Structure 1
Amino acid sequence: MVAFWFTLLALGVGVTGIVLASSADQLGEAFRLERSVTGFILLAAATSLPELIVSGQLAWNDLPDMAVGGVMGSCLINLLILAGIDLSQRSRGRILSRRAAAHALAALASIMMAAIVGVCVLMPGLPTLGRFHVGTVLVFLSYFVTVRLVFVDRVTSEPVEPHESVSILPETASEQPTRHWLRPLLYYLGATGVILALAAPLTGTSESLATILGLSGTFFGAVFIALVTSLPEAVTTYQATRMDAHDLAIGNILGSNTFNLLILVAIDAFYHKPLFSDLGPVHAITALGIIVTTTIAVMGILYRVEKRIWYLEPDAAGVILSALLFFYFVYSM
């Protein structure tokens, strides 16, 4: 019965997250933002909102390992999503290609933030700055510096591309190509309210299901919670690649990973004491997994030859193998 309710709540979070992502994309269209900026900031924030709310609730309920495990595991699953979709593209060329080299900056930012987390997990005695651990402060600063760098780089390096929506919301014939911002904003706020309502029961069923299955909170969060909260990224990335909007797809995944790591700041705020003082060392393995797997993806982005053999894509296959290997390491610990 617990598994049934967990599945039902997970589907609710996933579907609602898709509506969030669609409305964020329409907001980007309304404000004529460049595609990669929309993907990195607006779409990534929307698709990461389930992680934010669920992880915050877990931290509030004194389950920091499950909360952090869900956030870190979601980063690896997002990379799995991107690599899996890359392998499935038979005729449209690679997603991980030189056309996406501009996203290397965002990828390197997630590597830097994951490295900060790994160091803080292994050195829990680092000082605090007021209520927050110094590690979460550094993660916070790193994210906003990266957003600034990405925005300036994309605005100054090339002209704004025509924006195409990946919306799943209903269209009407009278709507103009540039939509008014009010309607998608209402969808966004409504979907946020639904996820807020689902977060508390999902947290309770997650704890019960982890106990029934005999799994640690860290592993359950890194796999099951991460799978649930990554559903919006999977659907929106797939939709973006179907319309050849590779900038939007990659910006969504890499932006979601940096935003997921930023969520650690919220977890630190909801937890009753400095976060890293109570985390198990296994999270350092997950952080290392994010660093290695993202590095493989960056290598594929920066060095590409467009000739390919279907289903023998070395960098995408490397991303998948690396992510699965680190999930095994987390399970083994």
Structure 2
Amino acid sequence: MNFAELSVWLNCLLFAVTAIGVWWAGSKLSIYVDLIAERTGLGRAFAGALLLGGATSLPEIATTVTASASGAATLAGTNLVGGIAMQIVVLAVLDAVVLRRKALTFFSPQAALLMQAAMLIQLLGWFIAANSSGEFFTFAHIGLWPVLLFAAYLLALWVIYRYEDRSRWEPAGEVGQPPESARDLKDVHDQAYAEVSTKQVGIYFGMAALVVLGCGYLVARLGETLAAQTGIGQGIVGATLVALVTSLPEVSTTWSAFRFGAYNMATANILGTNCLTLALFLPADLAYRKGPIIDALGPSASFLAALGIMTTSIYLWGVLERRDRTVFGMGIDSAVVLVLYVVGLVIYASISQS
């Protein structure tokens, strides 16, 4: 279907419909992953990083490959890098909306989350090095940097898996408990799926993931069309509108995980998804036929990556410090993340159009 033949308003409506589809399917994923982690013995942080992070990254995969194959390298690249800081902001918003005058990082004292944040910062540093230096080796239009990013992601995943049960860091002081309503809601989920086998839960998980993937593909096509119809530009559309919609699975799954008190899994979902996001430059490079995709990105992409490092570091600080101090109904670290992100978007808008 050629969306360019439709009016901009109809495309906006279709964009909204696909966004709702992404949200609905994503809200189911966290429930299924929590059940799988509990029944199989997988740690919730690792399950959040691998299963939930992988499934909620399907829109980014569909968007990235589709945009790259059509030659929209800027849209693909800014969607990936721009979505990292945006998904950290998801934690800040839900901190304010769900916890209400409690700090998220007070309820997330797991050492595996520290390792995930450290690995994400490492991967973002690799991307900045790639974007700053450009490709220095290519083979069949595929650059070396995306291969190195993918390999670094696999290494990070292995480190996180090994660290989950062998951590040498333990939180001091009282370990915060989730609100009573969260524990009650988790019990409701457990009872609702008590008669459902683990195999069936896995099938439900796969079906929800397919819905997320299909809607993500449509988001990519519609986002590219809207960028052309509105004249806003691929960079701004990719870093904001498309990144927002492809982040909806993370928003909905994190929201659901917050509601039943799985704060470690919720945070691990965001950090794990962000790590996987940077590995997606390899399929993007494979799909982009005009040369190495790293060379097609402007220097402003490094600013988005730096913004991701700054927002991630703030939460790393929050988990390490673990103080239940709030401002405006959210943890101080969440408030700082929100301010930093808004200022960062204003700066990015100015440098990307200069």
**Category of TM-score, reference length = shorter chain:** 0.7 to 0.9
Classify 1:33/1:92 alpha carbon distance in 2 versus 1 (closer, same or farther; 3 Å). farther
RMSD of aligned Cα (Å):
2.8
2:194 to 171, 175, 179: 175
Q: 8 Å contact 1:25–1:165 — kept in the other structure?
A: no
Deviation at 1:66, TM superposition (A): 0.6
Deviation at 1:208, TM superposition (A): 1.9
**Equivalent position amino acid for 1:123 in 2:** S
- Matched-pair identity in %: 26
Are positions 1:251 and 2:268 aligned together?
A: yes
**Equivalent position amino acid for 1:175 in 2:** A
Which residue of structure 2 aligns with residue 205 of structure 1?
Answer: 222
2:126 to 84, 109, 116: 116
Which residue of structure 1 aligns with residue 287 of structure 2?
Answer: 270
Which residue of structure 1 aligns with residue 3 of structure 2?
Answer: none
Query: Which string of whole-angstrom CA distances, capped at 9 and with x for unpartnered residues, describes residues 54-107 of structure 1?
Result: 211111111111111111122111110111222345568422237144311111
Deviation at 1:314, TM superposition (A): 2.4
**Could you tell which deviates more after superposition, 191-200 or 133-142?**
191-200
**Could you tell which deviates more after superposition, 282-291 or 89-98?**
89-98
**Distance in structure 1 (CA, Å) of the matches to 2:192 and 2:302:** 52
Query: Which string of whole-angstrom CA distances, capped at 9 and with x for unpartnered residues, describes residues 139-192 of structure 1?
Result: 11221111111111112239xxxxx9989x98876835xx53321222233234
Classify 1:310/1:203 alpha carbon distance in 2 versus 1 (closer, same or farther; 3 Å). closer
Where do 1:1-333 residues align within 5 Å? 1-88=10-97, 90=99, 93-97=102-106, 99-128=109-138, 132-157=142-167, 175-176=194-195, 180-272=197-289, 273-311=291-329, 313-332=331-350, 333=352
**Distance in structure 2 (CA, Å) of the matches to 1:17 and 1:88:** 19
**Distance in structure 2 (CA, Å) of the matches to 1:129 and 1:15:** 41
SS at match of 2:34: helix
TM, length-normalised to structure 2: 0.83
Deviation at 1:130, TM superposition (A): 6.1
SS at match of 2:85: helix
Deviation at 1:310, TM superposition (A): 4.8
Q: 8 Å contact 2:325–2:331 — kept in the other structure?
A: no
SS at match of 2:109: helix
Q: 8 Å contact 2:117–2:271 — kept in the other structure?
A: yes
**Distance in structure 2 (CA, Å) of the matches to 1:308 and 1:197:** 39
Query: Which string of whole-angstrom CA distances, capped at 9 and with x for unpartnered residues, describes residues 248-293 of structure 1?
Result: 1111111111111122222112211321121122111111111111
Q: 8 Å contact 1:30–1:180 — kept in the other structure?
A: no
**Distance in structure 2 (CA, Å) of the matches to 1:35 and 1:165:** 19
**Distance in structure 1 (CA, Å) of the matches to 2:84 and 2:20:** 20
**Could you tell which deviates more after superposition, 277-286 or 8-17?**
8-17
**Distance in structure 1 (CA, Å) of the matches to 2:268 and 2:50:** 8
TM, length-normalised to structure 1: 0.88
Unaligned runs of 5+ in 2: 1-9, 169-182
SS at match of 1:96: helix
Matched positions, count: 326
Q: 8 Å contact 2:32–2:204 — kept in the other structure?
A: yes
Q: Which stretches of structure 1, 4 residues or longer, exceed 4 Å deviation after superposition?
A: 89-92, 164-167, 169-174
**Distance in structure 2 (CA, Å) of the matches to 1:295 and 1:33:** 26
**Distance in structure 1 (CA, Å) of the matches to 2:277 and 2:184:** 23
**Distance in structure 1 (CA, Å) of the matches to 2:31 and 2:72:** 31
**Distance in structure 2 (CA, Å) of the matches to 1:30 and 1:89:** 27
SS at match of 1:59: helix
Deviation at 1:210, TM superposition (A): 1.1
**Distance in structure 1 (CA, Å) of the matches to 2:26 and 2:98:** 24
Which residue of structure 2 aligns with residue 161 of structure 1?
Answer: none
